[in-house]
C-alpha cells in the first residue's frame, strides 16, 4: 500500500514539473505561415470621454471575435493616449496602442515629448482621421484662437497628443500656452463636465466627428466653435506636414450653423517590435476585416478600411502588418 502511494505521489510530482516547464503562455496553435502563441495582449487607448477609449474597446472586441481560435486575446486599457501609449510600448508595458501619427513620428525620432528614440514602436495601420476641435462657452464671444487669450482652457489630457498639438496651435496664433491662457489637463469627459459647470471657458479636443463629449455639452449650454485659420495651419505645416485642412460641415453639432475650419491628422494602431510577425499578421488581418463589426459599436469604425490604410504613416511598419498588406496588393514603404 505504501509503495503504491509513493508511486502515485511521484507521478503527480512529475506531472507538475512537466507543467511548470511549459510556462503560463506556451500553448501554441499551428497555422499556415507560422505558429501563434497563446497570448494575452494589452492595447492602450485614451482617457474616458475620448474617441480612443470607446473605439479601442470596440476594436479589441472585434479583433478578439476574429481571433478566438488563434489563442490571441487583446484587452483595451484606458491611458493618457498618444504619448503615453508610445512610452508604454517602448517600456514593454503595452503590446499595442492607438496614437496620432505625428506623435508616433516624434517617438521614433526621439523628439518633441520624447527624450530618446522609441525603437520598439512600429505601425500596423491607419484607424481613422483625427480632427482637432476647439469649443468655447458662447458667452466668451470667441470665434478664433486669438480670442481665447486669458481664458481657462482644457488643452488635453496629460500624456496625450492633444496637448502637443494645442501647443503648436496656440504658438502659431502668437500665444504661449503656459502664459497667455490658463491651461488645464482634463480628460475629454471631465472637460465636458467642467464646461457645463462653468469651471472652464473652452476645451481642445482631438476626436472623431461628431464627438460625443461635444454633443453632451450642447445639451446644457451654447457653444462657440473655434476656427483654425489658414495662417495657423501654414505655420504648423512648416514643421509638421502631417496636418491638413478639414472642414466640419454646418449642422454637424446642435446649434452649429456655420462650417468649422479646422485641421486633421491620422490615428494609427501601433504595436511592439517584440511581437512576432505571425501574431501581428493575424491581428492586422482581423482588424481590417472587422470594420463593419467595429462600426456597429462605434461610428468611427466605418473608417477602418484598407483604402488609405498607410496614408500619413511615416514610422516603420511591422513585418507582420506588411505581410498582410502585400498579400492585398498594397505597396508598403521601406519594405
Q: For the stretch 277-296, what's the b/e string if a residue is b when 16 or more beta carbons lie within 10 angstroms of its beta carbon?
A: ebbbbbbbbbbbebbebbbe
Grid cell, residue 59, equals: 476594436
Q: Residue 20: inside a domain, yes or no?
A: no
Strand pairing partners for 129? 266
Q: Residue 332: inside a domain, yes or no?
A: no
pLDDT at 28: 41
The predicted-structure confidence for 109-153, as pLDDT tens digits, reads as follows: 999 899 999 999 999 999 999 899 999 999 999 999 999 999 999
Burial (CB count <10 Å: 0-12, 13-18, 19+), residue 23: exposed
Judged against a pLDDT cut of 50, whether residue 223 lies above it is answered with yes
Is 238 in the same domain as 137? yes
- As a whole number of Å, the end-to-end CA separation of the chain is 67
Is 237 in the same domain as 149? yes
Q: Residue 22: inside a domain, yes or no?
A: no
Strand pairing partners for 231? none
Q: Average of pLDDT values for 61-83?
A: 95
Is 278 in the same domain as 299? yes
Full residue range of the structural domain in which residue 283 is found: 34-127+267-327
Grid cell, residue 187, equals: 480628460
Is 183 in the same domain as 254? yes
Is 283 in the same domain as 310? yes
Grid cell, residue 33, equals: 505561415
**How far is the C-alpha of 94 from the C-alpha of 105, rounded, in Å?**
18
The model's pTM is 0.75
What CATH number corresponds to the domain at position 136? 3.40.190.10
> What's the number of domains the chain is made of?
2
pLDDT at 8: 40
Are 19 and 160 contacting, i.e. CB atoms less than 8 angstroms apart? no
Is 146 in the same domain as 189? yes
Is 175 in the same domain as 262? yes
**How far is the C-alpha of 156 from the C-alpha of 153, rounded, in Å?**
9
The predicted-structure confidence for 245-272, as pLDDT tens digits, reads as follows: 999 999 999 999 999 999 999 999 999 9
Q: Residue 198: inside a domain, yes or no?
A: yes
Is 76 in the same domain as 197? no
Out of 266, 284, 312, a domain closes at 266
Out of 242, 266, 290, a domain closes at 266
Strand pairing partners for 247? 261
Q: Residue 29: inside a domain, yes or no?
A: no
pLDDT at 35: 58
The predicted-structure confidence for 167-187, as pLDDT tens digits, reads as follows: 999 999 999 999 999 999 998
Q: Which residue has the cell 504648423?
A: 236
pLDDT at 250: 98
Are 309 and 288 contacting, i.e. CB atoms less than 8 angstroms apart? yes
Are 287 and 248 contacting, i.e. CB atoms less than 8 angstroms apart? no
Out of 266, 285, 316, a domain closes at 266
The predicted-structure confidence for 2-25, as pLDDT tens digits, reads as follows: 344 444 434 433 333 333 333 333
Q: Which residue has the cell 505645416?
A: 237
Is 217 in the same domain as 232? yes
Q: Residue 25: inside a domain, yes or no?
A: no
Is 109 in the same domain as 143? no
**How far is the C-alpha of 96 from the C-alpha of 269, rounded, in Å?**
7
Q: Residue 290: inside a domain, yes or no?
A: yes
Is 305 in the same domain as 246? no
Is 260 in the same domain as 208? yes
Amino acid at each position: 500500500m505504501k509503495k503504491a502511494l509513493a508511486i502515485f505521489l511521484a507521478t503527480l510530482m512529475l506531472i507538475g514539473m512537466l507543467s511548470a516547464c511549459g510556462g503560463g503562455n506556451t500553448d501554441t496553435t499551428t497555422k499556415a505561415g507560422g505558429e501563434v502563441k497563446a497570448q494575452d495582449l494589452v492595447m492602450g487607448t485614451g482617457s474616458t470621454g475620448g474617441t480612443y477609449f470607446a473605439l479601442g474597446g470596440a476594436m479589441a472586441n472585434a479583433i478578439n471575435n476574429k481571433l478566438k481560435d488563434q489563442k490571441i486575446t487583446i484587452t483595451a486599457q484606458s491611458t493618457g493616449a498618444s504619448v503615453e501609449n508610445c512610452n508604454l510600448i517602448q517600456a514593454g508595458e503595452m503590446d499595442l496602442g492607438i496614437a496620432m501619427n505625428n506623435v508616433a513620428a516624434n517617438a521614433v525620432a526621439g523628439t518633441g515629448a520624447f527624450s530618446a528614440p522609441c525603437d520598439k514602436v512600429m505601425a500596423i495601420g491607419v484607424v481613422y482621421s483625427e480632427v482637432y476641435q476647439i469649443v468655447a462657452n458662447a458667452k466668451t464671444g470667441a470665434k478664433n484662437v486669438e480670442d481665447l487669450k486669458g481664458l481657462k482652457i482644457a488643452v488635453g489630457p496629460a500624456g496625450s497628443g492633444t496637448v502637443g498639438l494645442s501647443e503648436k496651435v496656440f504658438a502659431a496664433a502668437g500665444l504661449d500656452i503656459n502664459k497667455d491662457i490658463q491651461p488645464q489637463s482634463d480628460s475629454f469627459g471631465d472637460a465636458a463636465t467642467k464646461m457645463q459647470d462653468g469651471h472652464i471657458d473652452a476645451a481642445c479636443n482631438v476626436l472623431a466627428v461628431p464627438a460625443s463629449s461635444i454633443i453632451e455639452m450642447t445639451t446644457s449650454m451654447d457653444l462657440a466653435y473655434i476656427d483654425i485659420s489658414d495662417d495657423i495651419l501654414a505655420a504648423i505645416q512648416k514643421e509638421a506636414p502631417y496636418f491638413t485642412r478639414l472642414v466640419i460641415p454646418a449642422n454637424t453639432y446642435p446649434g452649429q450653423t456655420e462650417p468649422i475650419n479646422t485641421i486633421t491628422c491620422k490615428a494609427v494602431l501601433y504595436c511592439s517590435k517584440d511581437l512576432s510577425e505571425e501574431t501581428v499578421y493575424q491581428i492586422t488581418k482581423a482588424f481590417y476585416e472587422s470594420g463593419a463589426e467595429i462600426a456597429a459599436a462605434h461610428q468611427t469604425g466605418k473608417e477602418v478600411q484598407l483604402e488609405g490604410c498607410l496614408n500619413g504613416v511615416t514610422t516603420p511598419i511591422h513585418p507582420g502588418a506588411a505581410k498582410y498588406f502585400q498579400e492585398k496588393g498594397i505597396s508598403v514603404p521601406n519594405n
